């Protein structure tokens, strides 16, 4: 149950991010068929660089990715059947987390949903430009989770992020 919870937690999060990339990539790749001005090209470069930094590095690498790995390791060390079955939600901080972590996780999810709904209304090439940046950020998120899995290896103490579980100080 320990190994399953760990693998399902990490694997489920990676699957979720991969599906998002799979769904967004066609809109970004559709830019190839769009007539783009210099402004569009500049916006594309800025979108990719900004989202790689803001979403990929600051969001995923400095916060989300290490916490996912730490929470997966916590789950492996403290398996409970409900947490193991819902391991991806556990690793993302939706369940069995501090009140602050739950609020932040749900608030971020609502913000992402609103952002997605707004971007869907945008015409090409603007939608593809934004989606290209998001794909870059998500790809860096997957790379960051993989990085922290490797770094932590058999020594989870190498990651100094809190699991943010109830009773955690």
Q: Is residue 138 part of a domain?
A: yes
Q: Is residue 167 part of a domain?
A: no
Q: Is residue 92 part of a domain?
A: yes
Q: How many CB atoms lie within 10 A of CB 103?
A: 12
Q: Is residue 168 part of a domain?
A: no
Q: How many CB atoms lie within 10 A of CB 68?
A: 27
User: The whole model's pTM is what?
Assistant: 0.92
Torsion of CA 144, 128, 23, 114, to 10 degrees: 80
Q: Is residue 160 part of a domain?
A: no
Domain count of the fold of the chain = 1
pLDDT for 64 equals: 96
Q: Is residue 21 part of a domain?
A: yes
Q: Is residue 128 part of a domain?
A: yes
pLDDT for 54 equals: 97
Measure CA 40 to chain center: 27
Q: Is residue 164 part of a domain?
A: no
Tell me which residue has tokens 């979403």.
Answer: 55
pLDDT along the chain (169 residues), means of 10: 94 98 95 92 97 97 96 95 97 95 95 95 95 97 96 83 82
3-state SS class at 8: helix
**Which domain range does residue 82 map to?**
2-27+37-154
pLDDT for 169 equals: 52
């Amino acid at each position: 149950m320990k190994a399953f919870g760990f693998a399902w937690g990490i694997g489920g999060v990676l699957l979720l991010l991969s599906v998002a990339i799979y769904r967004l990539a066609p809109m970004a790749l559709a830019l190839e068929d769009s007539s783009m001005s210099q402004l569009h090209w500049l916006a594309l470069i800025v979108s990719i660089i900004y989202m790689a930094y803001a979403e990929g590095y600051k969001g995923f690498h400095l916060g989300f990715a290490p916490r996912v790995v730490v929470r997966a390791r916590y789950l492996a060390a403290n398996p409970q059947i409900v947490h193991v079955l819902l391991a991806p939600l556990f690793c993302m901080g939706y369940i069995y987390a501090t009140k602050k972590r739950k609020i932040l996780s749900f608030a971020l999810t609502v913000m992402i949903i609103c952002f997605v709904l707004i971007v869907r209304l945008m015409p090409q090439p603007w939608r593809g430009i934004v989606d290209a940046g998001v794909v870059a950020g998500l790809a860096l998120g997957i790379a960051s989770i993989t990085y922290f899995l490797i770094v932590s290896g058999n020594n989870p103490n190498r990651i100094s992020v809190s699991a943010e579980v109830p009773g955690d100080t």
